[in-house]
Amino acid sequence: MPQDLPQELMDQLLAADSPTIANAIELYKRQSRWAGYMGPEIQCRFPELGRAMGYAVTCTIKEVDESNPPDPEERMKWLEAIENSPKPVICVVQDKVIGKKGLAAHWGEIMGTMVQQLGTVGIVTDGAVRDLEALHAIGMKVWSEYVVVSHGWIDVEWANIPVEVGGLTVNPGDILHADCNGVVSIPHDLLDDLPVKVKKILDDEKVILSDLRANGVDLKKMREGIKH
């Protein structure tokens, strides 16, 4: 079983924004440049709370009613998966409410506090959240597609399975890095070496930006460069 993320490694990677992490992963040329991150529909609700990084614990949610009641066993499996996961945890929830996606919030003050007590630092969902002021007050970092006032009647459908949120397939135990720009997935086998690539990206950008600020943009020189 994976161990908790080392604090030194987390500090190194959280010092970089998520776009820089995405750029660093590109250097390995392991996947399409269109892969490995969530789409723009997944919005950061509290940019001022900063970045988050952690292991994904997943579930899907569904609509329930008297004829199709909630399954407390599956809900317990999900909560136990959070407790048993290496830390920190980012909860990733796929909304599968047919015809009513985003019309009921799985996340609010009580659920946010509960999972925080189990080691969760962030929530990512293509569904809805509510109680924004309360979630902000406890420092829970949130990325969602929707915000809505009511919880409707929904519950956990399946726990600890692959989910798709924002066009990204997330498996239990995947490592996510998220900030005000969005959410990116870090392949496990790149984790230890990634700070080196992050430094390269930042060093290269520093040179480019320094030149731009000092010398401006010479379009003639740029055009000459593309002819060779």
Condensed to tens digits (0 to 9), the pLDDT of residues 213-227 reads 999 999 998 888 887
Q: How many domains does the chain have?
A: 1
Residue 99 lies in a domain: yes
Report helix, strand or coil for 98.
Answer: coil
The arithmetic mean of pLDDT across residues 16-37, rounded, is 97
Find out whether 177 and 186 touch, Cβ atoms under 8 Å: yes
182: three-class secondary structure by DSSP: strand
pLDDT tens for each residue of 69-84: 888 999 999 999 999 9
Q: For 170-214, what is each residue's pLDDT tens digit?
A: 999 999 999 999 999 999 999 999 999 999 999 999 999 999 999
Q: Is residue 158 part of a domain?
A: yes
Predicted local confidence at residue 184, as pLDDT: 99
Mean pLDDT calculated for residue range 39-45: 99
Identify whether 64 is part of a domain: yes
User: What is the rounded average pLDDT for all residues in the chain?
Assistant: 95
**Is there a contact between 117 and 82 (Cβ–Cβ < 8 Å)?**
no
Residue 100: Cβ-neighbour burial (10 angstroms; 0-12, 13-18, 19+): exposed
Range of the domain at 140: 36-188
Q: Is 61 inside any structural domain? A: yes
pLDDT score of 1: 59
Is position 202 within any domain? no
Looking at the chain, the whole-number percentage of residues with pLDDT higher than 70 is: 99
Asked if residue 108 belongs to a domain, the reply is yes
Residue 98 within any structural domain of the chain: yes
User: Which CATH number does the domain housing residue 90 bear?
Assistant: 3.50.30.40
Average pLDDT in the 41-58 region? Answer: 99
> What is this structure's pTM?
0.94
Q: Can you give the pLDDT at residue 117? A: 98
Q: Per the domain annotation, does 46 fall within a domain?
A: yes
Going by DSSP bridges, is the β-strand pair 120-129/89-95 parallel, antiparallel, or unpaired? parallel
